[in-house]
Structure 1
Amino acid sequence: MLRGRESEQRAVDALLDGARAGRSGVLVVRGEPGIGKTALLAYAEERAHGLRVLRGPGVETEADLPYASLHLLLRDGLDRLAALPGPQAAALAGALGLAPARADDRFQVGVAVLSLLAELAEDRPLLCLVDDAHWLDQASARALRFAARRLHAEGVVVLFAARDDAGPATPGPITPGPITPGPITPGPITPAPITPGPATLDAVAGFDPAGLPELRLGGLDDDSAARLLADAAPGLAAPVRARIIAESAGNPLALLELPRTPAPPEYDRTPPPLPERLRLAYAARIGRLPADARVALLVTALADDGDLAVVARACAALGAGPAALGAAERAGLVTVTDRHARFAHPLTRAAAFQLSTYDQRLRTHAALAALLHDHPDRRAWHLAAAAPGPDETAARALDELAERAAARGAGVSACGRLRAGGRAGEDPRLRGRRLLTAAAHATEAGRLRHAQRLIEAAVPLVPAASARTALPALRARIAFGRGAPHLAHDLLLDGAAEAAGEDRGAAGLMLVEAARNASLLGDADRLVAAAARLRELGLGPEDDYDLARRSALSSALLITNGPAAALPAMRELVSEGSRVASDMHSRRINASYFALQTGDFPAAWEIARAAAAECRANGEAGKLVVLHLTLAAAEIFLGRFADAAASAEEGLLLTAESGGQDRAGCMRGVLAWLAAARGEADRCLALAAAAHESYAANGIVNALAWAEWARALLDLGAGRTAEALDRLEAGPAGPARHQFQAVHAVPDLIEAAARLDRPAGEALGRYAGWAEAAGLPWARAVLHRCRALLEPDGERADTHFREAVRLHARGGHPWEAARTALLYGERLRRERRKREARPHLRAALETFRRLEARPWAERAAGELRAAGDAGPPVAGPDAASALSALSPQELQIVRLAAAGRTNKEIGARLFLSPKTVSYHLYRAFPKLNVTSRAQLAGLDLP
């Protein structure tokens, strides 16, 4: 019986009832050791009538073995793996070591976990219990968090239990000496302060519950504590009972354990804090066991997943028979089933480890390594732990483990193994190479301080030539990630200068990276400097990174020589990128970006859409995030605001799984612009502020460019013309002045200046240079509109407006076409040419209504009334405009369903379970006034 946890039990019961009704739920139970997290999970399992239960705890000794915890959770459900879509099944099988793995599968693994949980819940609801989540390996934690965030209508409950104070332990120095498996004779045990253990070799554990609901457990109230203590130790004297209640601070485990082990005399006045007091209690209980039972406890502590067969064989190799484990079981320290030996509480494991001696641990690791030839990852870990000094055999095993980890997309685990191998190896050069590779993995994973320490350890071990070619780029990435982008640029330029004499290719790569960083920062001077150095190197088209080199040069050319010189080079890059093989995603990402720069939004959208579909199939999340930025921007310019919002919202969600918080700022900037166009002031300002914060944190100006433009557009739409003009005029002097948004904000500036009768000739000249170089009908149309607004002669202004309307009729940018129609209609009405004004105003109103651009629609409607509109009503909502009632996710699902995709196909594409797809369709049908998928196919959904 749980005492004092009624509200927590109700929360668990509600989740279980929801699962029985087909709803999914997730809860992270957090708190200090012994506070009752495991007990609450046990309560959930006891109450899970009619549910299938999967258990998969985090294990400290496996915290750096990729997907080890995921395998523990899913091992009893892998018989349904074949029911998953092929790419997902292959990704999950590869992650769990059941099939070959590819590094780009790591994002797909989370999708596969989601699909497998949904598949397992088809027969009956599912309960997943993940205890000690703070010791999940990061690959498992990432996959489980991805799946948990997307559970909705599958009938799956996931409960995580995690400590707040856990962290990886790091072993101390190891002294040389041979080790051979053999009997262990433990010495006398003296209880002493115990630190969390057992130690792992650079374990990288951690569970970030961001985005998941949490329940924090506090201590029991005095009444509940007294009742629990009475249950556990009914014969205690009143003074002792009062003391234990006071010392326990309501910690349930303390209330159960402290009565079994009275405090030593020296603690009469100042008892140690919890959980140290609990560890001491367990240590005292272990100390009373026979010697061979203590051997069995140490084997169980180090045997990773507690496989009973492995534990029993290792105990036998160390001189402890089956009775030894039985003695530990009778003492209540472990539970033994027909397959596993598990500790009653993680603190028992810690005590068993800490009470062992150094030589005992070495012998135990050696015994386990000898038994695990069929489990190379675990064997490598035990070989390394059993090596008392440099051991190249152990180091090579760790190298192989790191290679497997990297192939499974677990770079952090690879980092830990390579660092351990660097310490364990005998050859200094090999040690240095391992440490540098580990530093690269750590940098990619965002563990920048750790990467810096690895570099410092590697430098004395690597040849000077290798240091000159490998270190500058690595140090620059660390500097950039730690908020020193200008230092990163200087490191790359200096490194390229040193490397140019012996490796021009390495120097060129550094300069390309320097140009890319400068472009992200909007730093024109540094971009031009890097491009100049690239030209001086004289590298040719045969270089592997010729595309990146030409991209950097064309970006610099735009700054130095203007659009007339740069846009033809960019269009060539677009043309090449649109023709490359489907698996050349980097080239297509590059092509879609430059299509935005040249104003060719249909090409940007087509290239990005095709590449995104392939990235979804391959699980390449990082590239997918970049493509979503391009898609959202292209959809804005193509007048697909609802699609743009869906792309940006999904991109924002993906950044939470793949990293890339700099891109999260850009997504928020895009969403801020859309909110501004729709007149959603509060949302626009909040998103713009978040984008500003992103820029302040990392210096990436794309987020700032969108945010500033959004604020100006919001002011312009609300009639705050002077404020809008102030913002827009500040742009050409600001850090975002070389971003493509700066070009497209110029027509807004000119409109604001014209309304205030202010000059804008310089801005007009800037836009004219770009529009004429772009050569696109819609760009020329906007240029004519701008000239019309600034033209004092009425007849010439009218000519420009008519030409703008004519060019807009050729398509390309509905938002700008509606803006032109509105401005021309307003001018005609002011000139009392109402009959001529009405068609333009009606066209503007229809487009603004379709785009849900409310401020602009209201302005057009007001002008239309003032023009005496007496014609038929403006077209009401059709199937396309009805889409505005859908959420971004519903919109994506409806489009795919209308195209004939099944729920399983839609789920695979959008990283949702089929049941969640069905749930969203059920909600979308009434909004579209349909009752079946067949009717969806008959709707006109642009």
Structure 2
Amino acid sequence: MLIPMAGCVGRDGELGELERRLAQTTGSGADLVLLTGEPGIGKSALLRRLADRCAGAALFARAASWESTTPGSLLRQLLQADVSDDPVAAADQLVGRLPSRPALVAVDDAGEADPVSLHALSSAVRRHRHAPLLVVAAGRHLPSELVRLASDELRLEGLDAAATAELAALRGRVLHPTMAGVLARHTGGNPRDALALLDEVPAAVWSRPDSRLPAPAHVLVDVASRVARCSPETCALVEALAILEDGHPLGDVARLAGLEDPLSALDEADRAGLLAPWFEQHPRLRDALVRAAVVDRMGVRRAATAHRKAAEVVTDPVQRLGHLVAATPTPDGALADELDRQARARGAEGAWAEAATLFRDASRLTADPLLHDERLTRSVDARIAAGDCVGAAAMVPAVESLRETPLRDVTLAYLAILRGRAAEADVRLRRAWEIVNLERDPETAALIAQRFVLHALVQCRGSELVRWADKAIELGGRESHAGLEAAAIRGLGMAGSGRRAEAVAAYADVAARVPHGAQAQRVRMGRGWLQVIEDDVDGARTSLEAAVSMAFLGGSARISLWALGWLARVQFLTGDWDTALATVEQGRRLAAESGIVLADPLLAWTATQIQALRGDWTEAVAAVRAAESVTQGYPMMRVPTLLARAQIAEAEADYARVRRTLEPLVAMAPGTTLDEPGFWPWVDVLANALVVEGRYAAADALLQPHEQRATERDHRSTRARLGYARGRLLGATGDLPAARRVFEESLALLDGTSLRHDLARVHFAYGQTLRRAGKRREADEMLTAARELYLGLGATTYVERCDRELKAGGVHGERAGRAPDALTPQEEQVADLVASGLANKEVAARLYVSPKTVQYHLTRIYTKLGVRSRTELAAHRQSSLPESD
């Protein structure tokens, strides 16, 4: 069956790579690249798009099996002219007729090409090595002659959900992201199969993400033909595989198929092209479309009978219920009740994805309207808990159409929280709490209290979090899912309200009670987050890595996102920046798939900080803009976004912008974790900006209460960071002995830790302060240490600053024999920066001196160089540069 094309979608990377290889032939000479992939994957569309984009420099042909015995048929199609039957002469003719340089020869279905044309293409690449020619041969199975000669193989894989959605849009179908993901997974991202289903399946199906998709008609025909050629035993085996789906041992498959010896049937199914590669006695069908085609071929009644038999074969209770559901097309109260019980049990264990499916099936089989609505709502709530906000959002219209209940309101509030909609979440939570009956429905009341816990967490309100956590545990019980989830977060609230020792003890208790399973993921994440706050970076890394790895147990994408966000922070703090950026990318992908935006700014903060310190300004700005593009409804989102913005400004030495960016946090801080040591490192950054701007009283007023709390909590890293700012302030106000004591104390606090970036910052500030005080040799020692630390981190922005400081200090500079009118190292630095267009205030910020000092140096520079203005200075510096070759 011919499936019309709908454009070359989702292949920008492959297209760009082939264009790059084509351009490369100008210098490297002729090349041959293979383009491979499964039928329908888009090889032809990509090849045609490539040829179209190389219009005037491309020859295109498509081989056909019926022409494979006609010598030179493919070459005649390429050149639209007669060609020699001699491959060498034909190769010379082909190269001589290339339309322009570099040239593309694109051959589709090259496996069907005639031998003379294949030999000629090979000879063209081998004999004309310096010709700017790229041959791209596409096909599923290509001749060994081309395989041996090719420099590389570009294999096309299936389209992702976003590209599948774009493909559907070109076909006139606007798919919800969840439905696009369902279609991409069902078809393996194969464009031909996806297009066929978009044409064949009724429009109503595409609005229901939980719909079962069939196989396209062309797959049905193909599979029916393959199965029809098999023995009855093999047919039974194939049907058993389709009913059981993947992952079942061969024994279960054979039992369902009624076969004592399934090996012969397996061999025959494999020869028929119905099986995928399989290992360890777990055979499986080739793909989801083959499975769907086999089930469709069975018919409704026979498939239902097979599902009922499968329910007796499988041992997993959730799988057993799934087979019973598949065999039950009409309401069944007893089965619905059993599904509901199993859904609650899986939810209590934290396996929310399974719970969502079970609640959905229970609602479908429930005849009572009120109970049906409750189970449907619970299905959406469980989907949100699993982190599938995209899928849950698709079902919101159905939930909003239901009568108002506390469960309905708290479910919609939950989705609003994860989408960053603080005002909506607050209204819905308060309404749910207002109408719930604590005595008659303590389970729902506990659920509402647990959602208030999450609401308070992202509002950065520790005391409020603890109060609601205690309420959730009181109403639901310590072992309820609401109680366990509240306990998994409660320690963060205790730490956020100054009760750090209690927080550590609370996590030790809940970790002992929940050592395994999906709920343990929440405990590991919360404990890892607390360990970040408590400076236990090694423990934090272990806990957070474990939380990320436990996602496969059926845990929550929301928990995985927070774990990735804080793991990236640990990796940043310890200097493992490349790994941190990889973790950020992993988190971004998960956020996009799940539709959860809460952790986006946290991920962006780490990415921005690394990229700004490395001088990757475009990437840094893009990261912070991505964070700002999502709803900033919660402090947990606004704070890291502001910190990311401030990091760019600080790396650019724009301290006025640092101050303007972070000043809103002063008003936001009271009653939040912004006032607690270890949560958010903002005070030292703002205080430093105030010092650079000469706002000494404001810097002192900001630092004092935070220094007092850090001392009371004995928080090492916060004391060191605040010492960085206090030392700056003391040095700027002329109290060098006190500044020395504070800087030395900060270095001592960081000694033995793995907080490399903090250590570099303190050394840098200490060195700048000493240089300003005229202690050049001591400054040189500190700045050199800072430079080495920054160099090890790859922080090129600050390596360059250290170089400027060291040059300005002049300890390593050549002093002997300098002419009286020669510029000093400090004056050289001032002259370069002024000539580059910076104002005195900006130069002062870069060199960490006062604007008056800059003006003093500038006056001396004008006198020594005989210039009268900044413009003349810039021209003088430009004219003094050595001429380039």
Distance 2:4 2:439 in 1: 73
Could you say which residue in structure 2 is the equivalent of 1:572? 505
Contact 1:127–1:158 (Cα < 8 Å) also in 2: no
Could you say which residue in structure 2 is the equivalent of 1:88? none
3-state SS in 1 of match to 2:656 = helix
Could you say which residue in structure 2 is the equivalent of 1:491? 428
| CA 339–566 in structure 1, closer or farther in 2 if over 3 Å, else same | closer
Could you say which residue in structure 1 is the equivalent of 2:439? 501
Distance 1:507 1:4 in 2: 55
Partner AA of 1:837 in structure 2: A
| CA 557–374 in structure 1, closer or farther in 2 if over 3 Å, else same | closer
* 1:511 counterpart = 2:449: yes
Could you say which residue in structure 2 is the equivalent of 1:732? 666
Shift of 1:725: 1.7
Could you say which residue in structure 1 is the equivalent of 2:711? 772
TM-score (norm 1): 0.52
3-state SS in 1 of match to 2:765 = helix
* 1:628 counterpart = 2:561: no
Distance 2:442 2:205 in 1: 48
| CA 23–673 in structure 1, closer or farther in 2 if over 3 Å, else same | farther
Distance 2:401 2:689 in 1: 59
Which residue, out of 744, 749, 753, partners 2:681? 744
Shift of 1:572: 3.2
What aligned pairs does 1:651-666 form with structure 2 within 5 A after superposition? Answer: 651-666=587-602
Distance 1:819 1:519 in 2: 30
Shift of 1:688: 0.3
Q: Which runs of 5+ in 2 are unaligned?
A: 22-31, 50-61, 66-106, 114-152, 169-174, 237-270, 275-288, 312-318, 815-885
Distance 2:342 2:746 in 1: 64
* 1:204 counterpart = 2:137: no
Shift of 1:836: 1.6
Identical positions, percent: 19
Contact 2:37–2:157 (Cα < 8 Å) also in 1: no
* 1:543 counterpart = 2:485: no
Distance 1:129 1:552 in 2: 39
Contact 2:186–2:213 (Cα < 8 Å) also in 1: no
Partner AA of 1:435 in structure 2: L
Partner AA of 2:211 in structure 1: V
| CA 369–6 in structure 1, closer or farther in 2 if over 3 Å, else same | closer
Could you say which residue in structure 1 is the equivalent of 2:242? none
Query: Which stretch of the first structure deviates more once superposed, 196-205 or 448-457?
Result: 196-205
3-state SS in 1 of match to 2:194 = strand
Partner AA of 2:702 in structure 1: A
Partner AA of 2:609 in structure 1: W
Distance 2:400 2:352 in 1: 20
Distance 1:478 1:744 in 2: 29
Residues 86-123 of structure 1: CA distance to partner in whole angstroms, max 9, x if unpaired?
xxxxxxxxxxxxxxxxxxxxxxxxxxxxxxxxxxxxxx
Could you say which residue in structure 2 is the equivalent of 1:477? 414
Which residue, out of 797, 800, 824, partners 1:855? 797
Residues 342-394 of structure 1: CA distance to partner in whole angstroms, max 9, x if unpaired?
xxxx9xx9xxx9xxxxxxx9x97457645765567998688666x6xx66699
Shift of 1:492: 3.2
What aligned pairs does 1:525-544 form with structure 2 within 5 A after superposition? Answer: 531-532=466-467, 539=474, 543-544=478-479
Shift of 1:782: 2.9
Contact 2:412–2:428 (Cα < 8 Å) also in 1: yes
Shift of 1:689: 0.7
Could you say which residue in structure 1 is the equivalent of 2:581? 645
TM-score (norm 2): 0.55
3-state SS in 2 of match to 1:832 = coil
Could you say which residue in structure 1 is the equivalent of 2:755? 813
Distance 2:493 2:336 in 1: 46
3-state SS in 2 of match to 1:604 = helix
Shift of 1:724: 1.4
| CA 735–159 in structure 1, closer or farther in 2 if over 3 Å, else same | farther
| CA 724–550 in structure 1, closer or farther in 2 if over 3 Å, else same | same
Distance 1:762 1:490 in 2: 37
Residues 207-266 of structure 1: CA distance to partner in whole angstroms, max 9, x if unpaired?
9xxxxxxxxxxxxxxxxxxxxxxxxxxxxxxxxxxxxxxxxxxxxxxxxxxxxxxxxxxx
Could you say which residue in structure 2 is the equivalent of 1:119? none
What aligned pairs does 1:398-437 form with structure 2 within 5 A after superposition? Answer: 422=363, 425-426=366-367, 431-432=372-373, 434-437=375-378
Contact 2:187–2:194 (Cα < 8 Å) also in 1: no
Contact 2:443–2:475 (Cα < 8 Å) also in 1: no
Which residue, out of 721, 725, 732, partners 1:782? 721
Shift of 1:590: 0.8
Distance 1:622 1:602 in 2: 23
Distance 2:774 2:305 in 1: 95
Could you say which residue in structure 1 is the equivalent of 2:768? 826
Which residue, out of 761, 773, 777, partners 1:835? 777
| CA 810–3 in structure 1, closer or farther in 2 if over 3 Å, else same | closer
Contact 1:31–1:163 (Cα < 8 Å) also in 2: no
Distance 1:505 1:395 in 2: 20
| CA 435–537 in structure 1, closer or farther in 2 if over 3 Å, else same | closer
Shift of 1:761: 2.2
Distance 1:198 1:616 in 2: 29
Distance 1:368 1:599 in 2: 58
Distance 1:205 1:3 in 2: 22
Shift of 1:754: 1.2
Distance 1:374 1:602 in 2: 51
Partner AA of 2:644 in structure 1: A
Residues 484-523 of structure 1: CA distance to partner in whole angstroms, max 9, x if unpaired?
433333433443453322354643442232121232144x
Distance 1:568 1:410 in 2: 31
Residues 425-469 of structure 1: CA distance to partner in whole angstroms, max 9, x if unpaired?
545566455434444355454344654455467759xxxxxx65x
Could you say which residue in structure 1 is the equivalent of 2:826? none
Residues 9-41 of structure 1: CA distance to partner in whole angstroms, max 9, x if unpaired?
9x99x99999x9798879966999xxx9xxx99
Contact 2:449–2:468 (Cα < 8 Å) also in 1: yes
Could you say which residue in structure 1 is the equivalent of 2:788? 846
3-state SS in 2 of match to 1:679 = coil
Could you say which residue in structure 2 is the equivalent of 1:598? 534
Contact 2:352–2:554 (Cα < 8 Å) also in 1: no
Distance 1:653 1:426 in 2: 40
Could you say which residue in structure 2 is the equivalent of 1:800? 742
Distance 2:758 2:794 in 1: 15
| CA 641–763 in structure 1, closer or farther in 2 if over 3 Å, else same | farther
Shift of 1:718: 1.6
* 1:760 counterpart = 2:699: yes
Partner AA of 2:683 in structure 1: V
**Structure with the greater relative contact order (CA < 8 A, sep ≥ 6): 1 or 2?**
1
What aligned pairs does 1:325-474 form with structure 2 within 5 A after superposition? Answer: 365-366=300-301, 369=304, 373-374=308-309, 422=363, 425-426=366-367, 431-432=372-373, 434-441=375-382, 443=384, 445-446=388-389, 447-448=391-392, 451-452=395-396, 454-455=398-399, 470-474=407-411
Contact 2:418–2:598 (Cα < 8 Å) also in 1: no
Distance 1:131 1:708 in 2: 33
Partner AA of 2:640 in structure 1: W
Query: Which stretch of the first structure deviates more once superposed, 723-732 or 771-780?
Result: 771-780
